[in-house]
Structure formats: structure tokens, C-alpha cells
């Protein structure tokens, strides 16, 4: 057998082997890309930073449809868990424009005194760190956004 036939036969064997293995394992399922997948891959902070204005607009439109429009300025920021400092969701804050502009995140403080009670406080803060929390006065949380993880 000459060199050309050897490589030709080797290629045929490789292609047939790949076909048999591929045929034997069957097709793989396909998943659609949804917001939950994007959030898992990129992180909540990234999604809020890049899509916060769009999320804010949708919330304002929904509230307007139900005659619950918000007076003042609104903005969507990440919710940071106190202690861990990780983004766990997003919140829409509302208030006077100059105060809302100061808000960089919302700190979540959680307290569970027993097995039947859980208290959760959301505090608009002027930084993205949770080591020292300084709330922004005159600003409140108007929506809490949960991402499907």
C-alpha cells in the first residue's frame, strides 16, 4: 500500500468512526438564551449596569398602566447583600433627582430571629461597598427586581 492510499484509508476510518460515535450518542438538546442565563453568565451587577435604564423604563410603564405613577426621579441599581457585598438583585429607587443621582446601590440587611420570622431591610446607599453603610436621605425603594437564577 502506498503512502497516498494509507492516508486516504486513515481519513475514511476516522470519518466513519466519527459518524458512528455521533450517530450512537444522538442529538444534543438545544437551550434558548434567556435573561436568567445572561444573569448567571455575566452577573447581576453587569446586567443592571448595562440594562438598568431599560428595566427602569419598563417598571415606570407598568406602574403608569396601573395608575401608580411615581412622582420624582427613578433609577435601577443593584441590591448588595451586607457582609458578602455580592449583587443579589436589583431595585428601583425613587425621590428627588439630586438625591437619586447619589444612589449607587441598595444594601440588603436581613435578620432571621427564628425559624418562622424573617426581616429584610433595603437601604439606598451612596457606594457600591457594604463595609460601611451610609444611607441616602429622601430616597425610597419603589420596586424590587428578582432575577431567575
Residue-wise pLDDT tens digits, 41-70: 567 777 888 888 888 888 888 888 777 778
3 within a domain of the structure (yes/no): no
26 within a domain of the structure (yes/no): no
Residue 82 pLDDT exceeds 90: no
13 within a domain of the structure (yes/no): no
Of 2-11, 31-40, 89-98, 107-116, which one has max mean pLDDT? 89-98
122 within a domain of the structure (yes/no): yes
135-141 own/partner pairs: CB under 8 Å, 24+ apart:
136/99, 136/102, 136/103, 137/99, 138/95, 138/96, 138/99, 139/93, 139/94, 139/95, 139/96, 139/99, 139/100, 139/102, 139/103, 140/93, 140/94, 140/95, 141/91, 141/92, 141/93, 141/94, 141/106
72 within a domain of the structure (yes/no): yes
What value does the mean pLDDT take over residues 115-124? 88
- Global confidence as pTM: 0.67
What value does the mean pLDDT take over residues 84-106? 88
112 within a domain of the structure (yes/no): yes
- What pLDDT, in 10s, does the model give residues 1-44? 566 677 667 666 666 666 666 555 555 554 444 555 555 556 77
Q: Which residue segment(s) compose the domain that 51 sits in?
A: 35-145
79 within a domain of the structure (yes/no): yes
Domain count, the chain: 1
Say what the pLDDT of residue 41 is: 52
6 within a domain of the structure (yes/no): no
pLDDT-derived band of residue 72, with 50, 70 and 90 as boundaries?
A: confident
Amino acid at each position: 500500500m502506498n503512502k497516498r492510499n494509507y492516508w486516504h484509508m486513515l481519513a475514511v476510518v476516522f470519518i466513519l468512526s466519527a459518524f458512528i460515535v455521533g450517530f450512537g450518542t444522538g442529538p444534543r438538546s438545544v437551550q434558548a438564551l434567556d435573561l436568567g442565563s445572561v444573569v448567571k453568565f455575566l452577573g447581576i451587577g453587569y446586567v443592571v449596569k448595562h440594562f438598568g435604564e431599560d428595566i427602569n423604563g419598563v417598571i415606570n410603564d407598568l406602574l403608569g398602566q396601573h395608575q401608580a405613577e411615581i412622582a420624582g426621579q427613578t433609577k435601577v441599581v443593584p441590591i448588595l447583600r451586607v457582609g458578602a457585598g455580592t449583587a443579589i438583585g436589583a431595585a428601583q429607587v425613587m425621590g428627588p433627582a439630586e438625591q437619586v443621582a447619589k444612589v449607587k446601590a441598595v444594601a440588603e440587611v436581613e435578620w432571621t430571629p427564628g425559624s418562622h420570622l424573617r426581616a429584610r431591610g433595603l437601604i439606598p446607599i451612596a457606594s457600591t461597598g457594604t463595609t460601611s453603610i451610609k444611607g441616602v436621605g429622601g430616597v425610597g425603594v419603589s420596586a424590587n427586581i428578582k432575577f431567575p437564577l
